[in-house]
Chain A
Amino acid sequence: MLAQQIVNAISLGSVYALFALGFTLVFGILGVINLSHGGIFMLGAYAALLLISKFFLPFWIAIPVAMIFSGLVGLLIDVLILRRLRQRQASHLMPMIATIGAAILMTSLAQGLFGSEARRFPLEMFNDENLKLGNITIPLLQAGITTLSILLMLLMVWVLKRTRLGQALRAIAESPRAAALLGIPVERLFYLTSFIAAALGGTAGILIGLSFNAISPFMGQPMLHKGIAAIILGGLGDVRGAVLGGLFLGVAEVFAITFLSSEYRDALSFGLLFLMLLWRPQGLFGASATRSA
């Protein structure tokens, strides 16, 4: 029973972590809190749904295509909104307000196009086999979801730690001005970051849609709150922090449901967030969220 719940917690937490990772990348590198990340999450799920149920693509093609689509939505938001605010050196509040607007627009758009009621993946396409590990049962779908999120996170950590691109991104995170003086094409890498972050956010949407088998235009907002909680728990802008924060949130929720009841799920996880902020305002790995000029 306990082992089973731990597996469920890791599975849910890894998807939260994936969502939070994209969110924190944008904050760390662009210095912007992109509140349309939940909207992108939702559109990613709808994109996959549409590709599978209307275009009858197999899921292993539909998922990558929906990921790229989500990335392009993020790129579009950057080019249309964030870039202009950067050029004007707008204050931190402006991108937040502007991306809330983008999120509302995306939600309305999804409502208009797909209706307000929840939609489902045609899950007959997945065989409902289970993996048996001792007395733990892991549905194959859940195993796949968890594996994909963990692989994507490992890939991102590897890129950031070990590649030239990652070095350049970390340089921009510390100081866009210093990075520009080294010949790093800062503006181009801002676009790339927005693309990657949105692709990760959209993927999280697909995976949550698959694991709860429900997609609705309103699924982005609660996820956004969880994402904010996860990155604050971990320390703003810190990749390890976002991953651990997401996992922690997943664990807290699953155990709240198991040992209390599902009504207490959000109360418990956000209560923990509150306690964390009292104890360590900068989060687990947080330096203070300042950057040099």
Chain B
Amino acid sequence: MSAPLLKLDQLRVSYGHVEAVKGITLEVQAGEVVALVGANGAGKSTILLALSGLIRTLSGHVIWDGQDITRWRPHQRVSSGLVQVAEGRAILKTLTVLENLELGAYTQPGKPDLEAIFHRFPILKQRAGQLAGNLSGGEQQMLAIGRALLAQPRLLMLDEPSMGLAPMVVGEIFEILREIHLQGITILLVEQNVRQALKLADRAYVMETGSMTLGGTARELVDDPRIIAAYLGG
């Protein structure tokens, strides 16, 4: 196996006074879709926040493309292609759809290629001049993903992209993620919708209260009785 694109080595993170992540080791190879699943409060989102540099780690290392980025600032991580679509989408509601997209390319030199995004998400073109706060939940998720793509991600991290969306829209979002992956972007997906996540992912890790309990290929995990009992509703 070649060197992983991203490696978490014994990462410990506290959130408030709680140690939310208790020594996690995890790898993502270039070109993979890796899912991180588990119950609410297991520490999945905390890992993503730490990967984006928004919360400090207690100990351990984050190795990104061979470099130790554990102490990097958030904007340095985004510039290097480690991009996150945060939980709740983090849409800038007081700015227009177009401004949100333009800011997605903030770390990129030159004019952003908005046409490619509008081609993928025609609805965003129609709504370009509107305030992003007026979009529906599904449209906001498309905006969040389109905006993240403009940052030229090499690894796209998504935190609960299905949250609060109707089942049909969830299917649409996952179809988009599949296409993005086919274009060669590596994906690290945190998701409570375990069934959808395992359909998309090559490999998955299962977390419980800050620790990793299971890991393997998505195919193995789908048939694992523990997973079926806990997450897929037997």
Contacts and interface: CB of A to CB of B under 8 A. Distances in A.
Interface of A: 164, 167-168, 170-171, 173-175, 177-187, 292
Contacts of A164: 102, 106
Contacts of B75: 180, 183-186
A182 B73 contact: no
Question: 4 shortest A-B CB distances, which residue pairs?
Answer: A183-B78, A183-B107, A178-B90, A180-B74
Given A170-B95, A171-B95, A174-B95, A181 B73 contact: no
A184 B106 contact: yes
Contacts of A184: 75, 103, 106
B169 interface: no
The dominant DSSP class at the A interface is helix
B95 A167 contact: yes
B114 interface: no
A181 B93 CA distance: 15
Contact of A174 (B93, B102, B147, B151): B93
B99 A181 contact: no
Interface in B95-123: 95, 99, 102-104, 106-107
What's the interface size class on B, roughly?
Answer: 20 to 34
B96 to A, nearest CB: 10
A181 B78 contact: yes
A178 to B, nearest CB: 4
B79 interface: yes
Contacts of A183: 74-75, 78-79, 83, 106-107, 151
A182 B52 contact: no
Given A167-B95, A170-B95, A186-B75, A181 B103 contact: no
Given A171-B95, A182-B78, A184-B106, 5 more contacts: A167-B102, A170-B94, A180-B54, A183-B83, A186-B74
Contact of A181 (B54, B79, B95, B102): B54
Interface in B127-146: none
A188 to B, nearest CB: 8
